[in-house]
Amino acid sequence: MCRPSLDVAPRQRAEAARHVHQREDGGQYQAARHCLVQNVRHLAAGRHEVYVSIDGWHITGSFVLPTSTCQICSNGAIDENENMMLRAVGLKTSKTVSSRPLTVSTYSPDLKSVAEKPKAVKYFKIYRWNPETKEKPYQLTYPVDLNECGPMVLDALFKIKNEQDPTLAFRRSCREAICGSCAMNIDGGNTLACVSPIKKNNDVVRIYPLPHMFVVRDLVVDLSNFFDHYASIKPWLQSIKPKGVGVEHLQSFEDRKKLDGLYECILCACCSTACPSYWWAQDKYLGPAALLQAFRWIEDSRDDRTEERLRALDDAFKLYRCHTIMSCTHTCPKGLNPAQAIRKIMGRLNEMHSHSE
């Protein structure tokens, strides 16, 4: 029997050095490994006395167990294949067999660090409506412990749906303000739930679907008309003379810079559904989002249909229903300025009319 010597440092590492004799027929590494693994398992199980026997021979060896990568199973064992590094430091022969216990000090964790935190309950009042029932729309309040929830409103919606009410309906996808799916009205303003932080106060968070839109269910609205307007502006590059396969549409740095603040639009519909003009005439008025996208292609130096695009927008309802209320610019979660783009379209039309005269 060999007597290992361990120096246990809580939360840092456990080191053990032991003296083991080698049998004359070899196999010293496997024997050392068996001895060390047994020692680690006893240590992980929290035993005060460790006895290790390797049949009358021992090897001088040591092991290092980094606790930062340690994975202790429910039965107290440690996955030695992935989390233990063994290294032999020397060998010597001995025929002395002894049996001595090893006393290991018990690790006492900091009780303050593991004490249960008090709950930080935040209430979310959410618009609910199911078209399959005869019940009218209503609001339902859900409590959420912020200590067990992510920092964004979308995290709270996930927690409510997963743990409290699986019938809650809302759109979501990327969770990175790229897709625009989770657009909704939060505390009176249109924004994206995935980038809307939960305020650390006692106020109730009020969540509604995008305003003045037909509701499909709960927080899901019908965006068919919105995307029909977007398709009407022909949002793709139009070239009169195709360059051919494998030929680039070159653009200067200056012309490319003109597209900044335009191409970033993710079509979340926050701006259009915040526009009073869009509320009143959304069947005819294209809205801030579609007009911003229209100007993106009008401003693109590679496009050859600029005049046709402008003439298609020269309409009392499509374009000139904008009254520069600026709600679209104020609410845009990407920080864009649709109102400015609309005014630039009007300016281009004025220039075109003045030249034609």
Beta bridge partners of 9: 13
344: which 2 tokens? 């630039």
Q: How would residue 293 be classed by pLDDT, with cut points 50, 70 and 90?
A: very high
Which of 19-28, 128-137, 138-147, 185-194 shows the lowest per-residue confidence on average (mean pLDDT)? 19-28
269: left (phi over 0), alpha (psi -120 to 50) or beta: left
Measured distance CA(122)–CA(118) in Å, rounded: 13
Cβ burial 194-232 (10 Å sphere, 16+ → b, else e): bebebeeeeeebbbbbbeebebebbbbbebeebeebbee
Q: Which of 113, 131, 11 is nearest to 67 (CA)?
A: 11
114: which 2 tokens? 């593991």
pLDDT on residue 356: 77
Q: How would residue 62 be classed by pLDDT, with cut points 50, 70 and 90?
A: very low
pLDDT tens figures, 157-180: 999 999 999 999 999 999 999 999
Over 60: is that where the pLDDT of 189 sits?
A: yes
Residue 272 corresponds to which amino acid?
A: S
Domains and CATH numbers, the chain: 5-105 (no CATH), 121-220 (3.10.20.30), 224-239+253-356 (1.10.1060.10)
Q: How would residue 97 be classed by pLDDT, with cut points 50, 70 and 90?
A: very low
pTM for the model: 0.67
pLDDT on residue 113: 53
Measured distance CA(153)–CA(147) in Å, rounded: 14
3-class DSSP string for 219-254: CEECCHHHHHHHHHCCCCCCCCCCCCCCCCCCCCHH
Mean pLDDT on 194-223:
97
Mean pLDDT on 289-310:
96
**pLDDT more than 70, % of the chain:** 66
Residue 1 or residue 146, greater confidence: 146
Phi, psi of 123 (to 5 degrees): -105, 135
Residue 71 or residue 288, greater confidence: 288
Mean pLDDT on 193-216:
96
Beta bridge partners of 96: none
Maximum C-alpha span of the chain: 113
pLDDT tens figures, 263-275: 999 999 999 999 9
pLDDT tens figures, 334-349: 999 999 999 999 999 9
175: left (phi over 0), alpha (psi -120 to 50) or beta: left
